[in-house]
Amino acid sequence: MQSTLQLSIFVENKPGTLAAICEALTKAKINIYGMTISDTVDHSVIRLVLSDPRKALNLFEERGVLVVENEVIVIENANKPGAMADVAHKLEKAKVNIEYAYLATHPKAKTGLAILRVSDTKKGLKALGKKK
């Protein structure tokens, strides 16, 4: 478990946009650890957790892409019933709100990855058992 920088980029909602973003990251040798996309009528918000967020930030800004940085908590969690409930209860007990989260795992994997944006990252890490 750790905190890391998440980049939210605002791009056109049209075919090929994600492919171009992924290609630019590939050429820069930046790996994608987590991604979620929210769409609206005319644009999409792509949230990315990357191997080198600072390098990616520069890459996007050089291309004129609007980027917002947020600190998130990344948790490698057990892939079993109740694992996320345990995380949520610990944060609840510490009065830390989960503003949004995304997670995924392969059904046969022993662990999965959860990415959480919380109201207080430092307090959230402490509640989950790690100091920032």
Question: Rounded CA gap, 25 and 87, in Å?
Answer: 31
Question: Rounded CA gap, 22 and 39, in Å?
Answer: 17
pLDDT in the model for residue 89: 98
Q: Going by C-beta distance under 8 Å and a sequence separation of 6 or more, which residues neighbour residue 95?
A: 123
Question: Following DSSP, what letter does each residue of 31-73 receive, concatenated?
Answer: -EEEEEEEE-SSEEEEEEEES-HHHHHHHHHHTT-EEEEEEEE
Under a CB-based contact definition with an 8 Å cutoff, are residues 128 and 90 in contact? yes
Which has more confidence, 31 or 132? Answer: 31
Going by C-alpha positions, the residue among 100, 6, 101, 124 that lies closest to residue 132 is 124
pLDDT bin (cut points 50, 70, 90) of residue 41 is confident
pLDDT in the model for residue 126: 96
For 82-110, write each residue's pLDDT tens digit. 999 999 999 999 999 999 999 999 999 99
For 58-69, write each residue's pLDDT tens digit. 999 999 999 999
Question: Rounded CA gap, 113 and 76, in Å?
Answer: 5
Q: Left, alpha or beta for 64 (phi > 0: left; psi -120 to 50: alpha)?
A: left
- Which two three-digit tokens encode residue 17? 């946009």
pLDDT in the model for residue 1: 87
pLDDT in the model for residue 21: 96
| Domain 72-127 is found in CATH 3.20.20.70 | no
Is residue 132's pLDDT more than 80? no
- For residue 24, the 8-state DSSP code is H
Percent over 70 (pLDDT), the chain: 98
pTM, to two decimals: 0.89
Q: Where in the chain is the domain with CATH 3.30.2130.10?
A: 2-70, 72-127
- Which two three-digit tokens encode residue 73? 């908590």
Query: What architecture is domain 2-70?
Result: 2-Layer Sandwich (3.30)
